[in-house]
C-alpha cells in the first residue's frame, strides 16, 4: 500500500499498486502474482496505463473516455464503493485528522476488523 496526498490523482500510483500485490495461494504450483483483470473508471483509460497493464499480462476492463455513462462496470465496482462507504461510517476515518500515516493506517486496520466482525455476526 502506498500513501499519497489527497490532492494527487489516484492513477499516478497504479503501477506501484499493481506491483505491490502479494502472492495469492491457490492451485498447485507457483503462486499468482497478478490479477487477470483490472477494473477502473475513465481516469485509468489513458493509453499509457492501458499499455502498462497489458505488458504485465493484465487485461484492462476500463470505462472508455468520451462515451456516456453506463459502461457496465458498475456491477463490479460497487464492491469497492460499498467498502469505502463502510469506512466512512467510522467517524474517525471520514476526515483524516492524524498527521502521522502510521496512526491513520492503524485506524484503517481497526476499522477493517470491526467491519469484518460485524459482517460475520450478521451471517451467524
Cα separation, 19 vs 56, whole angstroms? 9
Helix (H) or strand (E) holding 58: none
Q: pLDDT digit of tens for each residue in the chain (124 aa)? A: 566 777 777 788 888 888 888 877 777 777 777 888 888 877 788 888 889 999 988 998 887 776 666 556 666 667 777 888 888 888 888 887 888 888 888 998 999 999 999 989 988 7
Helix (H) or strand (E) holding 38: strand 37-40
Residue 72 has a pLDDT of 62
Residue 110 has a pLDDT of 93
Cα separation, 11 vs 15, whole angstroms? 8
Residue 61 has a pLDDT of 84
Residue 69 has a pLDDT of 62
Residue 71 has a pLDDT of 57
Residue 114 has a pLDDT of 93
Residue 76 has a pLDDT of 65
Domain boundaries, the chain: 1-70
DSSP structural state of residue 95:
S
Residue 28 has a pLDDT of 78
At 6, list the grid cell.
Answer: 489527497
Amino acid at each position: 500500500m502506498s500513501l499519497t496526498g489527497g490532492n494527487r490523482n489516484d492513477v499516478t500510483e497504479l503501477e506501484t499498486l499493481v506491483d505491490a500485490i502479494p502472492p495469492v495461494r491457490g492451485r498447485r504450483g507457483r503462486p499468482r502474482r497478478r490479477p487477470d483483470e483490472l477494473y477502473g473508471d475513465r481516469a485509468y483509460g489513458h493509453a499509457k496505463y492501458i499499455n502498462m497493464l497489458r505488458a504485465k499480462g493484465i487485461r484492462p476492463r476500463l470505462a472508455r473516455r468520451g462515451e456516456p455513462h453506463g459502461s457496465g462496470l458498475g456491477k463490479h465496482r460497487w464492491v469497492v464503493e460499498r467498502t469505502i462507504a463502510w469506512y466512512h461510517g467510522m467517524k474517525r476515518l471520514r476526515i483524516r485528522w492524524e498527521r502521522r500515516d502510521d496512526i491513520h493506517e492503524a485506524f484503517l486496520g481497526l476499522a477493517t476488523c470491526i467491519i469484518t466482525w460485524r459482517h460475520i455476526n450478521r451471517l451467524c
